[in-house]
Amino acid sequence: MGGVPLVEVIERGPQGVQLLAGGSGLIDMMHIDDTARFQLIRNVDALKDSIDILITDAPAGASENALSFVAASQRVLVVVVAEPTSFMDAYAMIKAANAEHGLRHFSVAINMAHDNVDARRNFEKFNAIAARFLDVELSYAGHVPFSAAMRRSIVQRKPLLAAENNTPDKELLAFKAVAQAVLKAPMNTYEGIRFFADKDSERETVG
């Protein structure tokens, strides 16, 4: 980071959200070596008094850097689209996280689902595959609706939930359900480096 404190490169968003972009030119977090990765996770400790929940967003697949950030989190949310390539990417990540870091608990949310019935049906398909070959426990976390409001938010590049008094009820309820399910899900145990390692009982971390 060129000696710049982490707190000075964070962008402030609406409703108290703080964002550290991983590929903004400051640092590409998915292409750093072991030492830099270790230091970055430790540097996040400087934020422990200013945030309630830390969410890390890792790309699809099972690269070592992505897995390190996943393993450093207490809970893992895997977002899946009901299509073969997404299933394969999610399966590969879960398999690698389990084999290389010993993670067993994963929450799964279905993206671009028509409704909760459609989402749960696709979760059961994915869970059946994972349960057949892996020693892991997957829990259904809900879905992200495939809706006009969601598409409009993406095109306009504006967070759907940032619009005051203008968030559609369906989307708002769906996101709340996912958040609540993830926070209630079992936490993973991991002996390696973790975010807020000395503050596990006080801060939630989701990968």
11 and 41 part of one domain: yes
84 and 123 part of one domain: yes
104 and 177 part of one domain: yes
24 and 120 part of one domain: no
Shortest CA distance to 10 belongs to which of 1, 132, 169?
1
6 and 49 part of one domain: yes
20 and 109 part of one domain: no
23 and 91 part of one domain: no
63 and 23 part of one domain: yes
60 and 20 part of one domain: yes
pLDDT along the chain (207 residues), means of 10: 68 79 56 78 83 84 81 93 93 94 96 92 96 95 88 82 66 91 91 74 62
CATH number at residue 86: 3.40.50.300
Q: Domain limits at 89?
A: 76-186
For strand 18-19 and strand 11-12, is the pairing parallel, antiparallel, or unpaired? antiparallel
Q: Which amino acid, residue 93?
A: M
The per-residue pLDDT for 62 is 67
- Angle between helix axes 64-71 and 34-43 (nearest 10 degrees) is 30
User: Residue 100 and residue 176: Cα distance in Å, rounded?
Assistant: 32
- At 104-150, the pLDDT tens digits run 999 999 999 989 999 999 999 999 999 999 999 999 999 998 888 88
Structural domains in the chain (count)? 2
Burial of residue 111 (number of CB atoms within 10 Å: 0-12, 13-18, 19+):
middle
67 and 163 part of one domain: no
- Confidence (pTM): 0.84
